[in-house]
Chains A and B, each alone.
Chain A
Amino acid sequence: MIRNFFIIAILAGLAAVFVSLFWNFGDSEVLTPLATHYATNGAAEVGAPNLVTSIVVTYRGFDTLGEVTILFLVASIVSFFLKREKLQPETTPKRETSEIILTAAKLLVPIVMVLGIYVFINGHLTPGGGFQGGAIIATAFVLLLMANPDFKINHKIIATVESVSGIAFVLIGVFGILLAGGFLDNKVLPLGTFGKIFSAGAIPLIYSFVGLKVGSELSNILSNLQGIQKEEM
């Protein structure tokens, strides 16, 4: 009873704060000075049509490196927590996977993978990027795991892809110090024609590595979460 009262009191207090925030919310008419700088100089300085990408990968590239590191940390903690200690043989017979899922998985998995690769290669031109593309690739693995619950993702391949792309990301950043303006500067490669796929310097390269890394990390988390289901719970 007292507990419910406290919950309602907290929610009502927060709702009151929100209502006052709501009434005082005024639309912005102009961009903030920082955003104005990005908008006016982004095309010339970075060369990527998608301004969100130029902020994420170049202006705030260090943030993105930290973000990828956090994702790596999460993937390692999850695999540490959910490591399979004992692999006993299956005891309960499993139902056959429905034919709809089997056929759909065969048909869709390659297409979904290609879509993911498309999304992260075109991250500097269209909405999308490494994280979104990586998540799409991981959904292909979800479909595979649903169609075939005994499917084992090869951890050697995943670990190799992940470490190679992580090291490549940092190396491109270090090349930025040596050849261009600073860490993760995208001008290590020529900026190219604005709006073409091979443009915006190192952004397509960096986003491809981020996409591969995110895709392999998410698949790793998923296969760990799925693998633990086999243990008797």
Chain B
Amino acid sequence: MEIIALITGFALILVGLYGILSKRNIIKIIVGFSLFDTGLHVLIVTVGYIKGGTAPILDSVVGTTDVASKIVDPVPQALVLTAIVIGLGVTSLMLAYALKMYQAKKSLDISDFKDMKW
């Protein structure tokens, strides 16, 4: 189980980084950032996996006694919840900037924006 999650996470990060580095369209670069983000989230949740553990919810299956031996680590899941929200904020900001850049030069090609390049 954790092997699949690890491979997915690493693959998503590599695909996202490839998109960020090689694409010229700004929207595609933003998609690359989102993929990178998702891969990191998958990896962080995987790190908290405990062999044979179940979801950290104290329902009738887990009970309230001897919980620590039955559940997976809830801390990485809470951190990923935060990270997903921040990732959403960053993505919407990038999209807003992309809109503004398109309005300024009528182009979404990253090589048309060389004003700040040194």
**Could you list which residues of chain A lie within 8 angstroms of chain B, going by C-beta atoms?**
4, 7, 10-11, 14-15, 18, 21-22, 25, 27-32, 34-36, 38-40, 42-43, 49-52, 55-56, 60, 63-64, 67, 70-71, 73-74, 77-78, 81-82, 126-127, 129, 131, 194, 214, 218, 221, 224-225, 228, 231, 233
Contacts and interface: CB of A to CB of B under 8 A. Distances in A.
A56 B86 CA distance: 14
Contacts of A40: 67-68
Given A15-B14, A28-B50, A55-B75, A7 B99 contact: no
A50 B33 CA distance: 31
Contacts of B10: 15, 18, 21-22
A67 B21 CA distance: 29
B96 interface: yes
Given A18-B13, A18-B14, A39-B68, 12 more contacts: A7-B18, A38-B74, A39-B71, A50-B56, A51-B58, A52-B56, A52-B78, A70-B89, A74-B89, A77-B96, A78-B96, A81-B96
Given A74-B92, A131-B81, A49 B17 contact: no
A2 B39 CA distance: 28
30 contacts: A11-B14, A11-B18, A14-B14, A15-B10, A18-B13, A27-B50, A28-B49, A28-B51, A29-B50, A31-B73, A39-B67, A42-B58, A43-B58, A43-B64, A43-B67, A50-B56, A51-B56, A52-B81, A55-B74, A67-B82, A70-B85, A70-B86, A77-B96, A81-B97, A126-B57, A127-B55, A131-B81, A225-B92, A231-B103, A233-B103
Given A14-B17, A32-B73, A27 B93 contact: no
Interface in B54-98: 55-59, 64, 67-69, 71, 73-75, 77-78, 81-82, 84-86, 88-90, 92-93, 95-97
A71 B6 contact: no
A81 B64 CA distance: 50
Contacts of A43: 58, 64, 67
Contacts, number: 138
B interface residue count range (under 10 / 10 to 19 / 20 to 34 / 35 or more): 35 or more
Interface of B: 2, 6-7, 10, 13-14, 17-18, 21-22, 48-51, 55-59, 64, 67-69, 71, 73-75, 77-78, 81-82, 84-86, 88-90, 92-93, 95-97, 99-100, 102-103, 106
Q: Is the interface of B mostly helix, strand, loop or mixed?
A: helix
Contact of B17 (A10, A29, A32, A60): A10
B85 to A, nearest CB: 5
Nearest to B81: A56
Contact of B75 (A38, A129, A224): A38
Nearest to B20: A7
Contacts of B93: 74, 77-78
Contacts of A64: 82
Contacts of A60: 78
Nearest to A44: B64
